[in-house]
């Protein structure tokens, strides 16, 4: 399957080009960017035969079957709608859009067009998160009482651009990281939060957007979820804990792009290290997307998953801005 990459971005060059090229019979044949100079340089650097600033030029190539969108967040909706209208399968970066209405429109359009639509939530593709999900599903912690996610990182200098200074481009830690934690929570607990309370702050990086957030979510089962996201924490590390009536899971260093970290299960029987696969998160995610496009299974995270993670993140922001508890509306999904 030939792909067009829309967005000459860091995530595309660091992970996604390789993830596509590792799939049998898949390659990237176009790159689309807003900058005439950058797109030529980027294409040459990554051996991509076609470079353009005109999205329609790439979309009108019948050889292109899939489009990966990793532009800044405000562009996702328009680019995805154009790709879907051209009959392409779409793998879109999170957050799917700036608003829930945008995300819903994209997912409904893909459904109507009969194309595969995926959201690039990589964490649910990791061996560590899948091992934790299995522990929970197998009842190893008993009834889940609580989930604590700590995902406060230090944004690398090369990414300290639109994420920290442009609300118009979808900056802020809530659209950037809370969406991932929302997807992880839904994936691990297999249920959707019903309401949230939250606070947000600018603690040194955010210019007109929040760079830190803490929130507490209510789950239908009664489990409580607590999350902490930030761009400004150099030494906090990341991870999550799941606490249940029969055991606790302590997972360190797993809220990351690489297959690293460690998982301990603690029960009355003692402490046990849980092994997990160290496959690439992104290669795995693309492989599930490619299979889905070929009619086998579904993408690791599909369109409704992307609508839901965005709906939760937007509710967290609304809760933080208003000081109110917000009931989450999933836009019909
Ligand atoms: P970047 O800032 O690297 O790229 C975003 C856009 O900024 C590019 O499409 C490009 O625009 C422009 N740009 C990039 N580098 C430069 C540069 N040196 N000079 C001028 N313009 C530049 O963003 P990310 O790769 O970090 O994020 C892109 C998207 O991917 C976002 O939606 C983000 O949320 C998502 N993301 C997802 C991750 C995941 O694990 N699922 C991880 C990281 C990001 P143009 O294409 O027009 O040239």
pLDDT tens, position by position, 101-153: 999 999 999 999 999 999 999 999 999 999 999 999 999 999 999 999 999 99
Report how far residue 272's alpha carbon sits from residue 275's, in angstroms, rounded to the nearest whole number: 9
Q: How far is CA 328 from the centre of its chain?
A: 19
Q: Which residues, listed in sequence order, are joined to residue 239 by a DSSP beta bridge?
A: 150, 252
Q: What is the Cα–Cα distance from 228 to 222, expressed in whole angstroms?
A: 20
Q: Is 9 in the pocket of ligand 1 (CB under 6 A)?
A: yes
CA 259/CA 267 separation, integer angstroms: 25
Ligand 1: does its nearest atom lie under 6 Å from the Cβ of 159?
Answer: yes
Strands 64-69 and 89-92: what pairing?
Answer: parallel
Indicate if ligand 1 lies below 6 Å from the C-beta of 79: no
172 lines ligand 1 (CB under 6 A): no
Which residue is listed with tokens 């290290």?
A: 273
Contact 34 CB / ligand 1 (< 6 Å):
yes
Cβ neighbours of residue 93 closer than 8 Å, sequence gap 6 or more = 7, 11, 69, 70, 71, 73, 76, 119, 120
| 251-260 LR contacts (CB < 8 Å, sep 24+) | 251/128, 251/132, 254/123, 254/126, 254/128, 254/129, 255/123, 255/149, 255/150, 255/151, 255/153, 255/180, 255/181, 255/184, 257/14, 257/15, 257/122, 257/281, 257/282, 259/126, 259/127, 259/128
Residue 179 near residue 94, CB atoms below 8 Å: yes
Q: How far is CA 54 from CA 30, 33, 59, 81, in A?
A: 11, 8, 9, 15
Taking the C-alpha atoms of residue 305 and residue 303, their distance in angstroms, rounded to an integer, is 5
Domain limits, the chain = 2-121+283-301, 123-279+311-327
The whole-angstrom separation of Cα 91 and Cα 116 is: 8
Span 123-279+311-327 CATH architecture = 2-Layer Sandwich (3.30)
Per-position pLDDT tens, the chain of length 333: 999 999 999 999 999 999 999 999 999 999 999 999 999 999 999 999 999 999 999 999 999 999 999 999 999 999 999 999 999 999 999 999 999 999 999 999 999 999 999 999 999 999 999 999 999 999 999 999 999 999 999 999 999 999 999 999 999 999 999 999 999 999 999 999 999 999 999 999 999 999 999 999 999 999 999 999 999 999 999 999 999 999 999 999 999 999 999 999 999 999 999 999 999 999 999 999 999 999 999 999 999 999 999 999 999 999 999 999 999 999 999
Q: Whose CA is nearest to atom 16 of ligand 1?
A: 9
Q: What is the DSSP letter of 275?
A: P
Residues paired with residue 146 on neighbouring β-strands, in sequence order: 224, 243
Cβ partners under 8 Å of residue 295, min gap 6:
none
Phi, psi of 278 (to 5 degrees): -105, 30
Sign of the C-alpha dihedral, residues 75, 72, 287, 241? negative
C-alpha 144 to ligand 1 mean position (Å): 37
CB 108 within 8 A of CB 84: no
Answer whether 332's CB lies under 8 Å from 104's CB: yes
Domain boundaries 2-121+283-301, corresponding CATH code: 3.40.50.720
Q: Does the beta carbon of 35 lie inside 6 Å of ligand 1?
A: yes
Ligand 1 atom with the shortest distance to the CA of 14: 25
R_g of the chain computed on alpha carbons: 20
């Amino acid at each position: 399957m030939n792909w067009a990459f829309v967005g000459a971005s860091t995530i595309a060059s660091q992970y996604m080009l390789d993830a596509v090229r590792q799939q049998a019979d898949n390659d990237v044949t176009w790159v689309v960017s807003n900058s005439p100079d950058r797109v030529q340089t980027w294409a040459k650097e990554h051996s991509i035969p076609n470079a353009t600033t005109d999205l329609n030029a790439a979309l009108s190539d019948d050889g292109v079957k899939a489009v990966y969108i990793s532009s800044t967040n405000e562009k996702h909706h328009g680019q995805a709608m154009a790709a879907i209208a051209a009959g392409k399968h779409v793998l879109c970066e999170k957050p799917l859009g700036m608003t829930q209405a945008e995300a819903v429109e994209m997912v409904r359009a893909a459904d109507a067009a009969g194309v595969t639509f995926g959201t690039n939530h990589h964490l649910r593709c990791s061996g560590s998160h899948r091992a934790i999900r299995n522990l929970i599903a197998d009842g190893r912690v008993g009834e889940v009482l609580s989930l604590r996610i700590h995902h406060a990182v230090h944004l690398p200098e090369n990414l300290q651009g639109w994420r920290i200074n442009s609300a118009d481009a979808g900056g802020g830690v809530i659209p950037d990281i809370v969406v991932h934690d929302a997807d992880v929570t839904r994936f691990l607990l297999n249920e959707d939060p019903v309401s949230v309370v939250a606070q947000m702050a600018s603690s040194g990086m955010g210019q007109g957007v929040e760079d830190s957030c803490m929130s507490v979510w209510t789950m239908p089962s009664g489990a409580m979820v607590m999350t902490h996201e930030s761009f400004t924490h150099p030494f906090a590390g990341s991870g999550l804990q799941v606490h249940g009536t029969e055991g606790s899971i302590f997972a360190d260093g797993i809220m990351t792009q690489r297959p690293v970290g460690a998982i301990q299960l603690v029960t009355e029987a003692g402490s046990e290290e849980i092994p997990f696969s160290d496959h690439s998160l992104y290669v795995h995610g693309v492989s599930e997307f490619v299979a889905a496009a070929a009619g086998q299974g579904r993408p690791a995270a599909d369109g409704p998953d992307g609508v839901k993670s965005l709906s939760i993140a937007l509710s967290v922001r609304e809760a933080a801005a208003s000081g109110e508890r917000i009931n989450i509306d999933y836009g019909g999904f």
